[in-house]
Structure 1
């Protein structure tokens, strides 16, 4: 979300930069498709019974007449690169709206995580261009939005949208694959033109000026005599209105779901942290510290790390760079950054050892590759029965998003003498070749060394 350029960039923004861009070429606009996907997923929420909302159920609903076109597939095919056991497709839909609006110059939305993907289709109920006003109002009301909010959401959602001729030839009068009639005159940037064009009788919005019986935007905008449209016509009001209503849209979830606190950028963030052993059997601590440098001179930046021992005691005047450690935490010292008083805990009861693990890229009798993981378990905690937990991606016919499931296997004692105080355990998993890129955890009791990447492993075990 915050690392969209430079080293370790995630590149979500690539799919919608510039605002008018689509990797699929003429007649497409990815930013519009990302917002449309989120809306179609969310609007079938039932506020009364707490079902539906941003739950990615649209992956099962693309054969419905209310969900025509390739936008949903395209959006999910892009987001699949970020989809994993820790990040749901529903959370990625919310991120897609955030990225699309920002890429087009719109307001910053607040991101939360915790959305859970549906396991099947939800109810139907997406408004269609041919619906009458009573039907549209009822659909929004079911989802928890009143008439004013309905108008705001349609205007804010359509500032960069339009109608594809291949999906609605009766509206565009052109059924070619490149036919895309935009909703406002400045579709490549966030502004209030969709409102001012409409109020000034200068709109080309096909859902306003299109054939009678398919002009749903006109019905929506006039539902309160244009009062809401007039109140959002200036740039500031439009931006504030869209920020609020799009925020509500991405935060609509089933009543059983509680979203996290707002995700903010933090000044100090550990990245790819790993406790391990070096070749001499001494603890090694690796990783990177991301430092927000907006108000710092990055050419003179020094980040000393202080550590606590296995029991949480903090030795005086020691840093990770100068002391042998048995670490459970560290902190940024120059400004006393201690993660709000919580430190940065690192458990050392089970430690994944990449140096002894591997993904042997040779097929066995069943056509699989052998994934081997080795973990060191601290002897003093009486920890038993460690497991090797691998995420298995199962393709689903007709569904662009694979099913993610965790398959666990027992880890057996492998070496009791390699590292003082630890016993090494080994686990194996037969990995189908198409699953060669996956993640896994090593777990014992309540402790886990998690989210390790199979692609980072050597092809041979040592």
Structure 2
């Protein structure tokens, strides 16, 4: 079984020769994956895995959401299904997020046609919630919860896949850890119909799963895995489950097995033992006994194996569910499996001071290996603007209680963050740093592939004088960013711009699209004796409710080159007073 081991890179930039302003790829509708075999993955690039170098815009944010679940600088997506019985909508009993998040991921994938390359996990489910094949509140309520984690670098489709992954991880207490790859692209419209329905016959189900890329045996396994948690809601399917008057079960849910909140093989064991309460196996409506027909499609061979061995059940589900979330439209190229990054910076800032110095601060997140001593030293070796070591004495980074992050369930990594701050003359500047880890007899220096962790000082947000505002009216919100940027005078920039991936609401779905927008920043102050000037500006937009994760980029160009300061979160700044 696969067992794996936050991030902001506000000052991770690239300096290049003069070129046009940055472009942002717009979201496009694409088509679906090639046919898959049991142990193969759709749309996964082949070839050697490149060594990680920070920052990597394709995976860094997703790695944060995936692994920084609970604790310091946590991303709260996994909280929605932790514990497995959690339900964000406390107004109705008889429901839980874990089963509904998993159902959302499957229904989004279920219309895929691997031969034509149309469909897969692409967030088209948001446009399809009014279809009879997508009954219930689960889909819209799932999307409205996870919307906060959609961003310019984490598509709604990626977040839907993460939601399914977290559901299974939480409900199995980490026994099923699905390897995750990012890079899914959001659809801008509804996809085809074709989610399998309980009243359909076996031939229809077999054809539907074949269209998705799964043979008969895989169909049986996938259904058993999916029906290990949750149940059928009578309020949505009264023809399958009776509607009951029960304050503790307002959704009139009948569970698939006796351990509806535990991702285990009970659904298989109880079916084989003929003691099942699964309404899709032995419900009063024979027409809708789809699980009975599917589980017996191979004469009952696979479901018996899944019933006999909990580990076989988990291993089978790990393989099939990885394939499920990796079923994506044709042309979508997923990343390599996102592993926890051993050493990575967070929240790097430079503040230009009136006395001709600049305060350099940040954090380093260290992956724990379980054997670290309390005497570990984390040393930061800063490099000057010209690439030389600033001092023979490294900056000491320190930690304390409260700077740890852990997972909500077993088999997940834990991290400790170490903070540092120092001051250097503005004439010296900073361009990068290495991280030295000393622990007992171990002394390792991480150079980020040889060039150090980038930390440019030509185009830097001034955190203390930057703020954000959020004002609600009706069902919408005004989002305002007032930004202050220190710009190095010797770069002689002709233009300094703020770029914002503006969230734009789409009709018929909770998901948003991002529209690249820019505004010029104006020089408002010269900081005499520092070699810097301050550029300022504001940007605002209106979006339904709170909306997705808000970020911004900075861009400047001139005769001495182009500088990008990419992907800074609005949430990392104080609220405007």
- Scaled by the length of structure 1, the TM-score of the pair is 0.90
Q: What corresponds to 1:443 in structure 2?
A: 555
Q: What corresponds to 1:199 in structure 2?
A: 272
- In structure 2, distance between residues paired with 1:343 and 1:317: 16
- Give, in angstroms, the shift of residue 66 of structure 1: 0.4
The change in CA–CA distance for 1:203 and 1:432 in structure 2 (over 3 A counts) is closer
RMSD of the alignment, in Å? 2.7
The change in CA–CA distance for 1:369 and 1:427 in structure 2 (over 3 A counts) is same
- Give, in angstroms, the shift of residue 2 of structure 1: 1.8
The change in CA–CA distance for 1:249 and 1:18 in structure 2 (over 3 A counts) is same
Q: What corresponds to 1:343 in structure 2?
A: 452
The change in CA–CA distance for 1:309 and 1:10 in structure 2 (over 3 A counts) is same
Map 1:330-369 to 2 at 5 A. 330-334=433-437, 335-341=444-450, 343-359=452-468
The change in CA–CA distance for 1:91 and 1:432 in structure 2 (over 3 A counts) is closer
**376-385 or 77-86: which moved more?**
376-385
| Partner SS for 2:453 | coil
Q: What corresponds to 1:230 in structure 2?
A: 304
Q: Which runs of 5+ in 1 are unaligned?
A: none
Map 1:14-163 to 2 at 5 A. 14-24=79-89, 25-105=92-172, 106-163=175-232
The change in CA–CA distance for 1:392 and 1:419 in structure 2 (over 3 A counts) is farther
Q: Is the 8 A contact 1:88 1:116 kept in 2?
A: yes
Greater share of strand: 2
- Give, in angstroms, the shift of residue 207 of structure 1: 0.7
- Give, in angstroms, the shift of residue 442 of structure 1: 1.6
Of 351, 360, 363, which residue of structure 2 is paired with 1:285? 360
Q: Deviations over 1:64-112 (max 9, x none)?
A: 1100011112211221222222211111112112211111124111122
- Give, in angstroms, the shift of residue 317 of structure 1: 2.3
- Give, in angstroms, the shift of residue 362 of structure 1: 9.8
- In structure 2, distance between residues paired with 1:239 and 1:419: 64
- In structure 2, distance between residues paired with 1:362 and 1:48: 48
**397-406 or 55-64: which moved more?**
397-406
1:248 aligns with 2:323: yes
The change in CA–CA distance for 1:198 and 1:427 in structure 2 (over 3 A counts) is same
- Scaled by the length of structure 2, the TM-score of the pair is 0.73
Q: What corresponds to 1:209 in structure 2?
A: 282
The change in CA–CA distance for 1:454 and 1:223 in structure 2 (over 3 A counts) is closer
- Give, in angstroms, the shift of residue 447 of structure 1: 1.4
| Partner SS for 2:321 | helix
| Partner SS for 1:33 | helix
Q: What corresponds to 2:510 in structure 1?
A: 400
- In structure 2, distance between residues paired with 1:156 and 1:419: 66
The change in CA–CA distance for 1:265 and 1:315 in structure 2 (over 3 A counts) is same
The change in CA–CA distance for 1:203 and 1:419 in structure 2 (over 3 A counts) is farther
**17-26 or 189-198: which moved more?**
17-26
Q: Is the 8 A contact 2:281 2:291 kept in 1?
A: yes
- In structure 2, distance between residues paired with 1:205 and 1:47: 30
Q: Deviations over 1:247-274 (max 9, x none)?
A: 1111111122111222222332212122
The change in CA–CA distance for 1:280 and 1:241 in structure 2 (over 3 A counts) is same
Greater relative contact order (Cα 8 A, min sep 6): structure 1 or 2?
A: 2
Q: Is the 8 A contact 2:359 2:423 kept in 1?
A: no
Q: Deviations over 1:305-339 (max 9, x none)?
A: 01223343445724346772522222221221233
Q: Is the 8 A contact 2:354 2:528 kept in 1?
A: no
1:378 aligns with 2:488: yes
- Give, in angstroms, the shift of residue 386 of structure 1: 2.1
